[in-house]
A and B are shown apart, each in its own frame.
Chain A
Amino acid sequence: MDHRKYNIYFHTHTISGIIIAAVLYVIFFAGSFSFFKDDIAAWQKGRSEVGHRFDPPYNHLLDSLSQHYNLQGRNFNFYLLRQGQGSYVDMTASQDTTVSKPKPKKEEGRRGRGRDKDDDSAYFRYHFADKKAGDYSDSYDMAEFLYRLHFLAQLNQVGINIGTPFGYLIAGIVAFLFLFALITGLLLHWDKIRSNFFLFRPMSKWKTVWTDMHTVLGVIGFPFQLVFAVTGVVLIVNYVLLTPFASLLYNGDSDKLYESLQYNKTIKVDYTYKPMEGTFDMDAFVSKWQNEWKDSQISRIYIRNYMDESMQVSLEAKPKPNANFEGSGFATVNIASGKVLEQKSPTKDGNYIDGVKALVYHLHFGDFGGKPLRIVFFLLGLMGCAVIISGIMIWLVARDKVATELRKRRFNFWASNFFLAACLSMLPVTSFTFIMVKMLDQVDQSVIYRTYFYSWLILGVYLMVLRNLPRMNRHTLLLSAVLCLGVPIANGISTGLWIWNTWQQGAFDILFIDALFLVLAGSCAYAYTRVNAEAKTFKILSLSKAPDKVLKASVVRE
C-alpha cells in the first residue's frame, strides 16, 4: 500500500475513532445488556415470564375501558411485546362526533414514547398476566433504560432543539463514523491481515499489547461490528437516508414511502354512523388467526371504527425465526361481514422488503437463536468494548513521546483519562443502579435516571481525579466485583427470589440475570487479583514540565 493511501486511512481511522470512542462504548455496553431486555424486565418486576402462555385478554381490556369511555367508533392500535406478555395500547378519540369530538390535529413531530394524550384518548402499557395497565413512566424499568441508552434516547430530553431528536442524531452520527472507522481500520490492517490474524502478545510492551488486542479483536469481530454499524445507521437515522427517496419517488410524501417499506399501515375506513349488530369477540378473533399462523407471532393489531358497521380489524404477524428467517404477514377483516379484505402469509409470501428488514432486525437484535445466541452476541458486544478501550490506549501511548509538545501530551492524557473514566465506570454504575431499583420503594423513570446518571457523574469525576489509569482500572475492577455481587443479593433480600428459589420455581429469566452478575463479579474479582499480582509497569512521561530529553517518568503499576 502506498504512503498516501496509508496516511488517508490512518488519519480517517484515528480521528473518526477517537471522536466517537466514549459514545460508541456507551452504545456497545448498553446494547450488549439490551440483548437480555426481557430477562432484565422480569428480574426487576420479580415476575417470571418463562413458559407462560398468555391467553388473549382483549375482551377483558375492552370491557374495562368501556367502563371509563364510550368505545363506539374509536380506533385502537395494539403493539404487542416480544414475548407476548403484554402490549402497548393506543386508543384514539371516537370517529363518531356525537360521542367525542376529535381535537384539531397538532403540528406533528416525531412521536415520542409516553406521549401526552388528551382526556378522550389513551396510551398505556397493558400486562396480560395480571391484567393491569400502567403508563409508560410507571412501567419504565432498567431494561427499557439500557435499551434506550444504547441509542442515546435520554439525550433527547436535554433541551437542544435542532428539529430532530438530539440523542438519535448523535447516535446516528456515531454509527456513521463507526462505519468509516471500521472500513478504514480493515484497509489499514489489510497487508498483515493473514500473518497477524491470531497474533496477541500480552507479555510484550504496552503499545504492542493494545495494538494486538485492537487489531485482532477488530478483525475477527469485523463482520459483527460492520453489521451493527450498518444496521445501526439504518435503524436510527433511516429518515435521513430515506428523505431523498421520498422527495424523488413519492413527491415528498414520506408516509407513503414508509408504507411501501411496510413500516406503516394506513387503514382508512369511512365511518357510517350505523352501529354494528351483535357483539365482537376479540379474543376468539385473535386466537383464530394465531391458529392459522401457527409458526408466527402476532405483533400488531389495529381496530378501526370500533362497533360501527364499517368496523375493520387488521393484524400483523412475524414468522418465528426457526420457521422462516424473513417474512411478514397481515390480514384485514371486515367484522360485520366477516370478509377477509386482504391477506399475506407470514411464512410463505415473503418479498424483498421482508428479506432486507429481517436481515437488519434479526442481525441487530440477535433474536433468531434463543438465549444461547444472545449470550454469544453479548460476548461479542463486550469484545467491541475491548476494541474501543484498546483503541483509546493506543491513541495515548502512541503520542506519549518526548517529541510531542507538553500541552499536547497533557491534552492527550486528559482526553484518555476522561474517556476511560466514562467507559470503565459504566459496569459499576449499572450494577449499582440494579441494586438501587431493588432497594428503593418507588422506582420509575425519573428515579432510574437520577440514580444512574448522578452515580455515573460522581464515579466518573472520582476516577478522573485519580489521574492514574492503572489505579482507575483497579478501582473499577474492585467496585465492579463488589457491586455485581450485590445484584443477586439485593434481589434476594428485597423479593426473596434468591438464586435457589428462582431455580426451584423455574424462573430462569430472573435466575439468568442473577447468574450473569455473579459471573461478572467473579470475572472482575479474578481480573483484579491477576492485575495486582502480575501486571507490568505502565509508564507515561511526566506531565508537569516540558522534557529536555527524557525526563523522569511517572511510574505507576497496572
Chain B
Amino acid sequence: MAYLAANPLYNRLVAGALFLIATALCVSLLGTGSGLFAAIVILMTAGSVSVLFFPFRYFGSVGVEILYLCAVTLELVIN
C-alpha cells in the first residue's frame, strides 16, 4: 500500500484494473447494457461517498474492512 501510495502511476494502474474487473463482474452478472450502466452509477456513488467522508477520517482501513465484510455478508444472505 505504501509503495502504491508513493507511486501514483502504479496507483492509477491498480485502480484502473480494479475498475475494469468490477465492470466485467457487473456485466457478467447483469448483462451487457445493464452491467455497463450499473458500473457507471456505482462509480459515481463510490466517488461521491469517498470524497464526502474521506476528509473527516471517520473510517480507517479497519473500519472500511468491517463495512466491506458487512456489505458482503448482507449481499450473500439477502440476495
**A, B co-complexed:** yes
B38 interfacial by beta-carbon distance below 8 Å: yes
Given A201-B55, A224-B41, A217:B48 Cβ within 8 A: yes
A278 interfacial by beta-carbon distance below 8 Å: no
Q: Number of contacting residues on A, CB 8 A? A: 37
Indicate with 1 or 0, residue by residue over B8-43, a CB within 8 angstroms of chain A CB atoms: 000000000000000000100111111001101110
Chain A contacts of B79 at CB under 8 A? Answer: 370-372
> Would you call A223 and B37 a contact (CB within 8 A)?
no
> Would you call A221 and B48 a contact (CB within 8 A)?
yes
Interface size class of B (residues with CB under 8 A): 20 to 34
Chain B contacts of A380 at CB under 8 A? Answer: 41, 44-45, 48
Chain B contacts of A220 at CB under 8 A? Answer: 44, 47-48, 51
| Partner pick for B52 among A217, A363, A372, CB 8 A cutoff | A217
Please, how many angstroms separate the alpha-carbon atoms of A323 and B30 in the complex? Answer: 8
| Partner pick for A362 among B37, B44, B47, CB 8 A cutoff | B37
| Partner pick for A321 among B26, B31, B49, CB 8 A cutoff | B31
Smallest distance from the beta carbon of B11 to chain A beta carbons, Å?
A: 14
A180 interfacial by beta-carbon distance below 8 Å: no
> Would you call A325 and B32 a contact (CB within 8 A)?
yes
Please, how many angstroms separate the alpha-carbon atoms of A203 and B49 in the complex? Answer: 17
Please, how many angstroms separate the alpha-carbon atoms of A202 and B57 in the complex? Answer: 11
A62 interfacial by beta-carbon distance below 8 Å: no
> Would you call B31 and A325 a contact (CB within 8 A)?
yes
> Would you call B37 and A200 a contact (CB within 8 A)?
no
> Would you call A508 and B38 a contact (CB within 8 A)?
no
> Would you call B55 and A200 a contact (CB within 8 A)?
yes
Please, how many angstroms separate the alpha-carbon atoms of A358 and B26 in the complex? Answer: 19
Chain B contacts of A368 at CB under 8 A? Answer: 30, 33-34, 37-38
Smallest distance from the beta carbon of B47 to chain A beta carbons, Å?
A: 4
A322 interfacial by beta-carbon distance below 8 Å: yes
> Would you call A221 and B44 a contact (CB within 8 A)?
yes
> Would you call A508 and B78 a contact (CB within 8 A)?
yes
Given A370-B79, A512-B78, A323:B31 Cβ within 8 A: yes
> Would you call B78 and A198 a contact (CB within 8 A)?
no
Chain B contacts of A221 at CB under 8 A? Answer: 44, 48
Please, how many angstroms separate the alpha-carbon atoms of A324 and B33 in the complex? Answer: 8
Give the residue name and chain of the A residue nearest to B32 (CB): A325
> Would you call A376 and B45 a contact (CB within 8 A)?
yes
A216 interfacial by beta-carbon distance below 8 Å: yes
> Would you call A200 and B51 a contact (CB within 8 A)?
yes
| Partner pick for B44 among A203, A224, A512, CB 8 A cutoff | A224
Smallest distance from the beta carbon of B40 to chain A beta carbons, Å?
A: 7
A81 interfacial by beta-carbon distance below 8 Å: no
Interface of B is mostly: helix
Smallest distance from the beta carbon of A35 to chain B beta carbons, Å?
A: 12
B3 interfacial by beta-carbon distance below 8 Å: no
Give the residue name and chain of the B residue nearest to A380 (CB): B45
A540 interfacial by beta-carbon distance below 8 Å: no
Chain B contacts of A464 at CB under 8 A? Answer: none
8 Å CB interface, A203-251 against B:
203, 213, 216-217, 220-221, 223-224
Given A200-B52, A217-B52, A223:B33 Cβ within 8 A: no
Chain B contacts of A321 at CB under 8 A? Answer: 30-31, 33-34
Give the residue name and chain of the A residue nearest to B31 (CB): A322
Chain A contacts of B75 at CB under 8 A? Answer: 372
A458 interfacial by beta-carbon distance below 8 Å: no
Please, how many angstroms separate the alpha-carbon atoms of A198 and B79 in the complex? Answer: 33
Indicate with 1 or 0, residue by residue over B43-79, a CB within 8 angstroms of chain A CB atoms: 0110111011011100000000000000000010011
Which of B48, B55, B78 has the largest count of A CB atoms less than 10 A from its CB?
Answer: B48
Chain A contacts of B54 at CB under 8 A? Answer: 200
A439 interfacial by beta-carbon distance below 8 Å: no
Given A368-B37, A377-B41, A322:B48 Cβ within 8 A: no
Chain A contacts of B42 at CB under 8 A? Answer: 373, 376
Please, how many angstroms separate the alpha-carbon atoms of A150 and B30 in the complex? Answer: 27
> Would you call B37 and A386 a contact (CB within 8 A)?
no
Chain B contacts of A323 at CB under 8 A? Answer: 31
A134 interfacial by beta-carbon distance below 8 Å: no
| Partner pick for A223 among B32, B44, B51, B56, CB 8 A cutoff | B44
Indicate with 1 or 0, residue by residue over A499-511, a CB within 8 angstroms of chain B CB atoms: 0000000001001
Smallest distance from the beta carbon of B42 to chain A beta carbons, Å?
A: 5
Please, how many angstroms separate the alpha-carbon atoms of A512 and B45 in the complex? Answer: 20
> Would you call B41 and A373 a contact (CB within 8 A)?
yes
Please, how many angstroms separate the alpha-carbon atoms of A198 and B49 in the complex? Answer: 11
Smallest distance from the beta carbon of B43 to chain A beta carbons, Å?
A: 9
Smallest distance from the beta carbon of A525 to chain B beta carbons, Å?
A: 14
| Partner pick for B33 among A224, A325, A373, A511, CB 8 A cutoff | A325
Chain A contacts of B38 at CB under 8 A? Answer: 368-369, 373, 376
Chain A contacts of B47 at CB under 8 A? Answer: 198, 220
Please, how many angstroms separate the alpha-carbon atoms of A324 and B37 in the complex? Answer: 13
Chain A contacts of B44 at CB under 8 A? Answer: 220-221, 223-224, 380
Supply 15 A–B pairs (Cβ within 8 Å), ascending by A: A213-B52, A217-B52, A220-B44, A221-B44, A223-B40, A325-B34, A326-B33, A362-B34, A369-B30, A369-B38, A373-B30, A376-B38, A376-B42, A383-B45, A512-B78
- By Cβ-Cβ distance, the 10 closest A-B pairs, closest first, are A325-B33, A368-B34, A322-B31, A220-B47, A369-B38, A321-B34, A383-B48, A376-B45, A508-B78, A220-B48
Instruction: State the B residues within 8 Å of A (CB).
Output: 26, 29-34, 37-38, 40-42, 44-45, 47-49, 51-52, 54-56, 75, 78-79
Given contacts A373-B38, A380-B45, A380-B48, 17 further A-B contacts (CB under 8 A): A216-B51, A217-B48, A217-B52, A220-B47, A220-B51, A223-B44, A321-B33, A322-B34, A324-B33, A326-B33, A371-B79, A373-B30, A376-B42, A380-B44, A383-B45, A386-B52, A511-B78
